[in-house]
Amino acid sequence: MLSTLPRLTAMGQELELTDTSFGELESSLDLLGDGAAMRERMQAEGYLYLPGYLGREAVLEARQVILERLDGAGWLDTEYRVADGIAAPAGPVNARPELVHGNEPLQRLLYSEAGPMMQFYKEFLGGDVAHFDYTWMRALFPAKGTPPHCDIVYMSRGTTNLFTSWTPLGDVPYEVGGLMILERSHLHERLRNTYGRKDVDEYCTNRRDAVPDGDGGGGNITQGGWLSKDPIKLRQNLGGRWLSTEYSAGDLLVFTAYTVHASIDNHSNFIRLSSDSRYQLAAEPIDERWMGDDPIGRRNSYKRGRIC
């Protein structure tokens, strides 16, 4: 299988496509209906991949709303149909989260109590479910992808028993730049006890270069909160394989807050659309930065100084 893959890069670096460095995500559709078995696999592997689970038509409905907004902003190539999602020659690298606002099909897809997403989490978590109000929208234009990181450094002020749903909003073949996760990286104890204990909104008050605003930095964590910008060396240091697949509309990838993940660079002329949404047990504490009608996110009022 690996011999048939196109050339893949992440952060501009060519990925090693050998049996020991790269592999395919494995489906967990066979575990649906058995919450204990899903939790066991999540504990062992750090992810659950459910191809087709969300339903293709529901996803394409949400996708169409986003594409119409991109078209209205002049970010689609007018030589093609809006539904094709072809990037305009001078589009941005990553569109803004406002694409989520007022998108009723996307809200239903991600958060409807009767929908497959929330039904999955009720079964998987085994109790009442809460979700962040903030939805991360990704519109990745032809460019480098997202550097390797763990979600915990951005959302650690609640439970750590927190899970991300990465939802491709359309078909994402390899050359369009889908998500990849580092195999069993959530089990790496040294990583959990170092980088995994950091907070991107904390800065070092005892450092001369402390920055009490902005996106990371200030001595506590790298700017942006990234674990690394070298996915090749990171994999060699941590072990395991980068795992990905050619995604289709309707697929769902769920992973832990400690699972290292990144995205493959987009070498096509398509805009890769996806969303990140977060879920947990309702009975556990939740990170207030991402809650409310207008989630404050990582604004300066949530910055914390610390001695490093």
Does some domain include residue 143? yes
What per-residue confidence (pLDDT) applies to 221? 82
Q: Residue 101 belongs to what domain range?
A: 25-151+158-184+244-283
Are 284 and 159 spatial neighbours (Cβ–Cβ below 8 Å)? Answer: yes
What per-residue confidence (pLDDT) applies to 216? 63
pLDDT for 68 beyond 80: yes
What per-residue confidence (pLDDT) applies to 205? 81
Residues contacting residue 306 through CB under 8 Å, at least 6 positions apart: 202, 203, 204, 205, 220
Does some domain include residue 276? yes
Q: pLDDT category, 295, cuts 50, 70, 90?
A: confident
- Average pLDDT estimate for 243-262: 98
Does some domain include residue 291? no
pLDDT for 65 beyond 80: yes
pLDDT for 189 beyond 70: yes
Per-residue DSSP letter, 25 = P
Considering only residues 179 and 214, tell me which one the structure prediction assigns the higher pLDDT.
Answer: 179
Does some domain include residue 4? no
Name the strand (E) or helix (H) holding 202. Answer: strand 202-204
Lowest mean per-residue pLDDT among 6-20, 24-38, 294-308: 294-308
Per-residue DSSP letter, 247 = B
pTM of this structure: 0.94
- Average pLDDT estimate for 70-80: 92
Are 145 and 10 spatial neighbours (Cβ–Cβ below 8 Å)? Answer: yes
pLDDT for 291 beyond 70: yes
Q: pLDDT category, 1, cuts 50, 70, 90?
A: low
Does some domain include residue 201? no
Number of domains in the chain: 1
Report the CATH number that the domain containing residue 257 is assigned in CATH. 2.60.120.620
pLDDT digits (tens, 9 = 90+) for 229-242: 999 999 999 999 99
pLDDT for 220 beyond 80: no
pLDDT for 84 beyond 70: yes
What per-residue confidence (pLDDT) applies to 198? 93
Does some domain include residue 91? yes
Does some domain include residue 295? no
Pair of tokens at residue 266: 């987009």
What per-residue confidence (pLDDT) applies to 3? 65
Calculate the average pLDDT of the chain.
92
Pair of tokens at residue 42: 């999540």
What per-residue confidence (pLDDT) applies to 4? 82
pLDDT for 213 beyond 80: no
Does some domain include residue 119? yes
Sign of the CA dihedral 258, 264, 265, 269? negative
pLDDT for 252 beyond 90: yes
The percent of residues above 90 in pLDDT, for the chain, comes to 78
Name the strand (E) or helix (H) holding 216. Answer: none
